[in-house]
Amino acid sequence: MEKNYNLEVEVTADIIDYLGRFGNGIIVLLNISIDDEYSEAVLFYNNDTIALTVSESVEDALGSTIEEWEGYREMLEFLFSRLVPSSELYNSLDEFDLERYLSPPKSKFIDGRIDESSIVYGTQSNL
47-77 pLDDT, tens digit per residue, is 888 999 999 988 988 889 999 999 899 999 9
8 Å CB contact between 32 and 38: yes
Q: Tell me, yes or no, whether 16 lies in a domain.
A: yes
Q: Tell me, yes or no, whether 122 lies in a domain.
A: no
Q: Tell me, yes or no, whether 48 lies in a domain.
A: yes
Give pLDDT, residue 112: 67
What is the pTM assigned to this prediction? Answer: 0.69
- φ and ψ of 18, to 5 deg: -85, 110
Q: Tell me, yes or no, whether 115 lies in a domain.
A: no
Domain encompassing residue 23 = 3-91
Torsional sign, CA 71, 34, 29, 80: positive
Other beta carbons within 10 angstroms of residue 43's beta carbon come to 23
Q: Tell me, yes or no, whether 125 lies in a domain.
A: no
Q: How far apart are the first and last CA of the chain?
A: 60
Q: Which of 112, 108, 78 is nearest to 4 (CA)?
A: 78
Q: Tell me, yes or no, whether 70 lies in a domain.
A: yes
Q: How many domains does the chain have?
A: 1
